[in-house]
Amino acid sequence: MTVRERMMCCYRGESVDKPALGIYTRYLKRGNMERLARNNGLGIIDYVALTSQISPPWHLLPEFISSVKQTDISIEYY
């Protein structure tokens, strides 16, 4: 099994041939040690938030009232 297959099996609750080890990219510095860890079977998990973490939470403010009426909002994946 590949590192990815092991990690995906763990997320699904399935059995694997050997333990899957993973780390988030923000905790692992880039460079020679990262490459060595990856080549030895460490899975690197890259997480991207759906919303920006630096933007203010405007949708949580009680005074926020949208002035947009009768609008169709859609999301396009590319």
Give the total number of structural domains in the chain.
Answer: 1
Structure tokens, 61 = 């403010």
E strand map for the chain: 21-24, 42-45
Ordered alpha helix ranges (H), 1-78:
3-12, 32-39
Position 46 in a domain? yes
Q: Is residue 77 part of a domain?
A: no
Residue range(s) defining the domain that contains residue 10: 3-60
71 within some domain: no
Asked if the structure places residue 54 within a domain, the reply is yes
Residue 66 within any structural domain of the chain? no
**Mean pLDDT in order along the chain per 10 residues (78 residues):** 89 89 86 88 80 61 64 72
What pLDDT shows up at residue 47?
A: 75
Residue 30 domain-assigned (yes or no): yes
- Tell me the whole-structure pTM to 2 decimals: 0.51
